[in-house]
Structure 1
Amino acid sequence: MKLSALGDIVHASVAIQFIRKHIANAHISWFCDARFEQIARLLAGVDEVVALPLKDKKFLKSFGILRQKQGQFDIIIDLQGLLKSALVSRSLGKNIFGFDRFSTKEGLASIFYTHKYSCNYNKNIILRNLELCAFALNFSFDEKEILTKEPCFLKNSRIPNKNSRISSKKILIAPFASESSKCYAHFASVIKGAKEFAQCFLVAGSEIEREKATKLASSGATLLAPLDLAQILEFMDTCDLIIGNDSGITHLAWAQNYATITLFGNRSGARNAFATPKNLIIQATPKHKIDAFHIDKSDFCINDIDPAQIIAKAKGLCDA
C-alpha cells in the first residue's frame, strides 16, 4: 500500500523483489492513487494494480472499488503510514501491518493497524519500508542485498535503448521538485561545467516547469520533449548519469540502478536516498538540525552547494 506521491512509490518499489525472494508464489496487489497508476503499472513483480481516484475527490468511486476488494487479502501492509492509507487498509481487511504511532508522521493512523512496527521516523526510508515488510512477512534481509537489487520498474520499447548510445557522455538533469526549498538554483552553472565532458539534457513536466527549463537550456542543455514516465525510463537507459533534486525522477533512476547525484538541503539525504558507489548524495548544511517530523521549508540551504562540487562528482561518475 503506497498511495502517493511518485517519490514515495519509488521508495517502496524495492520491497517487491524482497517479498518475491522470500515468498515466490505471493499474489501482490499494489494500491495507489489513480494519478500514479502509470508508474505503478510499470512495477516489476506486481500482479495487480488498484487505482483509487482519491486526489480527484472521487470518494464514492474509490469506496466502490475498495468494497469489491474487501476480504481478498491475507496480509495488508501500509507503507505510507498516513491516516488516508490506514483507512484504505482497514476497508480491505483486518490483518494490517503498519508503523506504530511514534514511527510515522500521522500517528493516528496506527489505531487502524492490527500489528504495529516501531522504527525511527528519521531512519532511511528504503530500510523502513523493507523492515516493515520483513516484520509482516517474517523474513530477514541484509542491507548489502540492496546494492545488488534488480531494476524495480519495467520498460517499454518505444524509445531506443543503450544499443543506440552516441559516443559522448549523456547527463540527464532533473531540476524540479514538489517544494521550492528542494530546488537547486544553480543548475545553469552545473550545465556550463558539465558540457565540457558530456551532453546535458533537461526533463520538465508542467508548463511552468517547461518555461523555466527553456531558460535553463540556454546554458547549453537540450530540453526534452514532454515524456511520460515510461518514456523517461527509456531515455534514462541511454544516459550515463542523472543529476537532480530530491524528486521522483532521481529516485526513479536509483530504483533502475542508474548512476545518480541527488542534492539535499533542508531534508536529510541519509533518510531520503540510499547511497551506493554510483548513487551519490550531496547534502547542504541546514540552518537547524534536520528532523523529518518538522521540515523548515523556509530554509533554502540547498543553494549553498558549490556547483564545482557537483561537476567534479559528475565527471568522476561519467569517467568510471
Structure 2
Amino acid sequence: MGDVINNLPVVTDILSHFPDAQIDWVVEAPFSDIPKMHPGVKTIIPVSIRRWRKNLFKRSTWHEIKDFKQKLQNKQYDIVLDTQGLMKSALITRIAKGTRCGFAWDSAWEPLATLFYNKKFSVDKTRHAVDRYRLLAAQTFGYKPEPHINYGIVAPALTPSWLPENPYAVLLHATSRNEKLWPESAWIELGAYYKNQGIICILPWGNSSEHARSKRLAELIPDAIVPPAMRLEEAAAMLAHARGVVGVDTGLVHLTAALQKPVVAIFCGSDPAVNGLYADSPIRNLGNFGTPPTVAEVISAVEAVNKA
C-alpha cells in the first residue's frame, strides 16, 4: 500500500506539466481504491499477482491473467513507466505497448528489471521513496518537479454508520512485521491520554490476529471502538474526520499524510529516512530500528502536530 500512496504525487506532477495527459494505473486489486481517489487517474487496471502466485495451477487464474493482458494491451501508450524497479513490475511493463521507462541498473531495487526498459534513469537510492518516484518521472517526461508535494487525493464522501459523533482518534497498531509493532502497554497508555482529553479511540484491524489485538486493547482503553472490517475508501473517510491519528509503519499512516491530515508515525523496525511520512502537512516521524519512541515522546508529538 505504501508504494501506491507514495506514487500519487507523480500523477499530480505529470498533469501539472501536461494537463491533457491521460494516465492509467496498474495496481494490485486490494489497493485499487487509492488511485480512485485521485481525479487525474483515468483508468485503473487491477492486477492480482499475489493471489495468482498462490493459485498457479487453477484454470481460473490463467483466465484472469489472459484477461489482464488483453486489457493492458488494448491501448497504445506513449510512455509506460515502472516506478517500482522490481521484476514483477518490469514484466507487467513489458506486456504494455509503448516506450518502456524505469530505473537504471544502479537505481533499481532488482537490477535485472532494467533489461525490460527502453529508457533508463539513475536516481539516488538513499532518497525518500516519494522523491525517487517523482525524480524518475521528471527525467522520463523532461520536467523539473516543484518542491511542493501534492498527493492530489480527496477522501470519499462517506460516513460509516459506526463512527462516533464525538471526537475520535485512530490508533493504527497493526503492521505487516512483528518488529514494527509498538508494545500493547504503550498503546494502552496512549489511549488513557486520549480518554483524558475526551477523545474516543478507534482501533482498526485487517486480519484475525490484528482483530484479536484490537479487542485486547479495547478492553483496557475506556470507550475504545473496534470497528468492523473496512474497505480502503471507508478507512480513508475515517482517517479524514479523525481528531488525531497515530500509527506504526503501515500503509494507513501514509494515507493519512496523503490526505493532508496531522499524523504521528512510530518506527520500531524500519528507517523513517527512507520510508517515513513525507508530506507538507503536519507530520512527525518518531523512532528507528530498535529504538521505538516512548509514550511521552508520542504524546508530545501529537500535541505538536495538532497545534501546527
The TM-score range, normalised by the shorter chain, is: 0.7 to 0.9
Residue 293 (structure 1) aligns with: none
- Structure 2 CA distance, aligned partners of 1:48 and 1:40? 9
SS at match of 1:75: strand
Deviation at 1:93, TM superposition (A): 2.6
- Residue 81, structure 1, aligned to residue 69, structure 2: no
SS at match of 1:105: coil
Please tell me the residue identity of whatever aligns with 1:187.
W
Residue 30 (structure 1) aligns with: 25
1:139 to 129, 139, 143: 143
Please tell me the residue identity of whatever aligns with 2:11.
I
- Structure 1 CA distance, aligned partners of 2:15 and 2:86? 25
2:50 to 55, 61, 70: 55
Q: Do the aligned partners of 1:14 and 1:152 also contact (CA within 8 Å) in 2?
A: no
- Structure 1 CA distance, aligned partners of 2:229 and 2:36? 20
Q: Do the aligned partners of 1:178 and 1:247 also contact (CA within 8 Å) in 2?
A: yes
Residue 216 (structure 2) aligns with: 215
SS at match of 2:260: coil
Residue 200 (structure 2) aligns with: 199
Deviations 1:90-124 (A, max 9, x none): 11135111111221221110111111111122210
- Structure 2 CA distance, aligned partners of 1:271 and 1:319? 26
- Residue 127, structure 1, aligned to residue 115, structure 2: no
Deviations 1:152-199 (A, max 9, x none): 245133448x9x964x4x321111111111121122222222322232
Q: Do the aligned partners of 2:15 and 2:40 also contact (CA within 8 Å) in 1?
A: yes
Map 1:170-185 to 2 at 5 A.
170-185=168-183
- Structure 2 CA distance, aligned partners of 1:208 and 1:250? 19
SS at match of 2:274: helix
Distance 1:276 1:263, change over 3 A: farther
Aligned residue pairs, count: 292
Q: Do the aligned partners of 1:202 and 1:223 also contact (CA within 8 Å) in 2?
A: yes
SS at match of 2:131: helix
Root mean square deviation of aligned Cα: 2.2
Task: Choose 247-256 or 214-223, whichever is displaced more.
Answer: 214-223
Residue 98 (structure 1) aligns with: 102
Distance 1:277 1:231, change over 3 A: closer
Q: Do the aligned partners of 2:8 and 2:152 also contact (CA within 8 Å) in 1?
A: no
SS at match of 1:55: helix
Unaligned runs of 5+ in 2: 53-60
Q: Do the aligned partners of 1:31 and 1:50 also contact (CA within 8 Å) in 2?
A: yes
Residue 311 (structure 1) aligns with: 299
Unaligned runs of 5+ in 1: 1-5, 287-300
- Structure 2 CA distance, aligned partners of 1:154 and 1:47? 17
Please tell me the residue identity of whatever aligns with 2:158.
S
SS at match of 1:47: strand
Q: Do the aligned partners of 2:105 and 2:114 also contact (CA within 8 Å) in 1?
A: yes
- Structure 2 CA distance, aligned partners of 1:267 and 1:150? 23
Deviation at 1:275, TM superposition (A): 5.3
2:258 to 251, 255, 273: 255
Distance 1:59 1:245, change over 3 A: farther
SS at match of 1:157: coil
- Structure 1 CA distance, aligned partners of 2:304 and 2:220? 22
2:39 to 19, 32, 44: 44
Please tell me the residue identity of whatever aligns with 2:37.
L
Please tell me the residue identity of whatever aligns with 2:179.
S
Q: Do the aligned partners of 2:169 and 2:243 also contact (CA within 8 Å) in 1?
A: yes
Residue 291 (structure 1) aligns with: none
Task: Choose 243-252 or 41-50, whichever is displaced more.
Answer: 41-50
- Residue 157, structure 1, aligned to residue 152, structure 2: no
- Structure 2 CA distance, aligned partners of 1:46 and 1:227? 23
Residue 231 (structure 1) aligns with: 234
TM-score scaled by length of structure 1: 0.84
- Structure 2 CA distance, aligned partners of 1:171 and 1:21? 34
Q: Do the aligned partners of 1:275 and 1:281 also contact (CA within 8 Å) in 2?
A: no
Deviation at 1:37, TM superposition (A): 2.6
Distance 1:151 1:171, change over 3 A: farther
- Structure 2 CA distance, aligned partners of 1:37 and 1:106? 24
Residue 67 (structure 1) aligns with: 70
Q: Do the aligned partners of 1:184 and 1:263 also contact (CA within 8 Å) in 2?
A: yes
Deviation at 1:226, TM superposition (A): 2.1
Deviations 1:222-275 (A, max 9, x none): 222222111111111221221101111101111110111111233221211215
Q: Do the aligned partners of 1:35 and 1:55 also contact (CA within 8 Å) in 2?
A: no
Deviation at 1:10, TM superposition (A): 0.8
Distance 1:214 1:68, change over 3 A: closer
SS at match of 2:196: coil
